[in-house]
Amino acid sequence: MAGGDLGAYGRKRRFGRTPEPAPLREAPARTAAERRFVVHKHHARRLHYDLRLEFDGALASWAVPKGPSYDPAVKRLAVQTEDHPLEYASFEGRIPEGEYGGGDSLVWDRGSWSAVPPEEADRQRERGHLLVELHGEKLHGRWHLVRTGRGDGGRSWLLFKAKDEAADPAFDVVAERPESVLTGRRLTRGPERRAVLRASHPAPRRLLERVWPPMLATLVERLPGDASRWQYELKLDGFRALAGLSGGRVALWSRNGLDLAERFPGIARALEGVVVGEAVVDGEIAAIGRDGAPRFELLQRGEAPPVFFAFDLLWLDGEDLRRRPLRERRELLESLLANAPEGVRLCEIVGAPAERALEIARDEGQEGIVAKDRASPYVGTRSTAWQKRKLVRSQEAVVVGMTPSASGRAEIGALLVAVAEEGGFRYAGKVGTGFSEQERRALWEGLLPAVVDSPTARDAPRLRGARWLLPAAVCEVRFAEWTRDGRMRHPSFLGLRPDEAPEECVRERPAAGEAR
Ligand code: MN
Task: Please write the tens of the pLDDT for every residue from 398-415.
Answer: 999 999 998 889 999 999
388 is catalytic: no
Q: Is the pLDDT of residue 30 over 60?
A: no
- Residue partners of 154: CB distance under 8 A and separation at least 6: 80, 128, 147
Domain boundaries 394-504, CATH class? mainly beta
DSSP 33: G
Query: Can you give the pLDDT at residue 46?
Result: 96
Domain ranges, ordered by start, for the chain: 7-176, 194-390, 394-504
CB atoms within 10 A of CB 62: 22
Give the CA count within 13 Å in the CB-facing half-sphere of 277.
17
pLDDT value for 149: 77
Look at residue 393 in the predicted model and tell me its pLDDT. Answer: 86
138, 235, 372, 388: the catalytic one is 235
Specify the pLDDT at position 33: 61
Closest CA to 360 of 220, 184, 235, 183: 235
How far does the centroid of ligand 1 lie from the alpha carbon of residue 104, in Å?
A: 10
In this predicted structure, the answer to whether residue 301 has a pLDDT above a threshold of 60 is: yes
Instruction: Give the residue-averaged pLDDT of 241-268.
Output: 96
**Residue 83 Cα to ligand 1 middle (Å):** 11
Q: How far is the CA of 327 from the centre of ligand 1 (A)?
A: 25
Between CA 404 and CA 412, with CA 492 as vertex, the angle to 5 degrees is: 15
CA dist., res. 221 & res. 135, Å (int):
47
- Give mean pLDDT, residues 147-168: 90
pLDDT at residue 61 above 90? yes
Secondary structure element (H or E) that encloses residue 385, with its range: strand 382-390
Write down the pLDDT at residue 62.
Answer: 98
- pLDDT reported for residue 450: 94
Q: pLDDT band for 1, please (50, 70, 90 cuts).
A: very low
How would you classify residue 443: left for phi > 0, otherwise alpha for psi between -120 and 50, otherwise beta?
Answer: alpha
Compute the distance from residue 227 Cα to the ligand 1 centre, in Å. Answer: 34
349 in helix, strand or coil?
strand
**What pLDDT shows up at residue 32?**
54
Sign, CA torsion 478/482/483/486? positive
Expressed in angstroms and rounded, the spacing between residue 365 Cα and the centre of ligand 1 is 42
pLDDT of the residue at 186: 95
Helices (H) and strands (E) in the chain, counts: 10, 29
The CATH number that domain 194-390 falls under is 3.30.470.30
The per-residue pLDDT for 29 is: 58
User: What backbone phi and psi angles, to 5 degrees, belong to 10?
Assistant: -65, -40
In sequence order, what are the residues at sequence separation of 6 or more whose Cβ sits closer than 8 angstroms to the Cβ of residue 167?
70, 71, 72, 141, 161
Query: How, if at all, do strands 47-55 and 349-350 pair?
Result: unpaired
**Measured in angstroms, how far is the CA atom of residue 59 from the centroid of ligand 1?**
13
Lowest-pLDDT range of 112-121, 132-141, 264-273, 503-512 = 503-512
pLDDT for residue 154: 81
Mean pLDDT of the 312-325 span: 97
- Model confidence at 151, in pLDDT bands (50, 70, 90)? low
| pLDDT per position as a tens digit, 269-289 | 999 999 999 999 999 999 988
